[in-house]
């Protein structure tokens, strides 16, 4: 996660689903390379798109800066 946190995304992807076993704790902090959370599949034809609306609401309510992307959109950093 290049943003500051995984919070919000937990509404779509269960952080407690641990493919590598129980010995690993959930790390909520991102790498902090970006100062915003990237929210994919916003208002798209993706099966998680409805749940992404909940993520956006969570981020707004918790004052977490984000950029929502529709499928096919990109962020260009120069």
Per-domain residue ranges of the chain: 9-68
> Which of 14-23, 25-34, 56-65 holds the top average pLDDT?
56-65
Of 15-19, 43-47, 70-74, the range with the highest mean pLDDT is 70-74
- State how far the Cα of 29 lies from the Cα of 11, in Å rounded to an integer: 16
The average confidence (pLDDT) of the chain is 86
Q: What is the pLDDT of residue 49?
A: 67
Q: What is the pLDDT of residue 50?
A: 79
Structure tokens at 32: 């902090």
Q: Residue 38: which region, alpha, beta or left (left: phi > 0; alpha: psi -120 to 50)? A: beta
Does the pLDDT of residue 33 top 80, yes or no? yes
């Amino acid at each position: 996660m290049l943003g500051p946190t995984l919070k919000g995304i937990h509404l779509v992807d269960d952080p407690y689903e641990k493919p590598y076993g129980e010995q690993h704790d959930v790390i909520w902090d991102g790498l902090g390379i970006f100062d915003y959370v990237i929210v994919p599949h916003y208002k798209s034809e993706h099966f998680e798109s409805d749940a992404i609306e909940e993520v956006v609401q969570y981020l707004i309510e918790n004052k977490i800066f984000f950029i929502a992307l529709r499928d096919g959109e990109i962020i260009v950093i120069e």
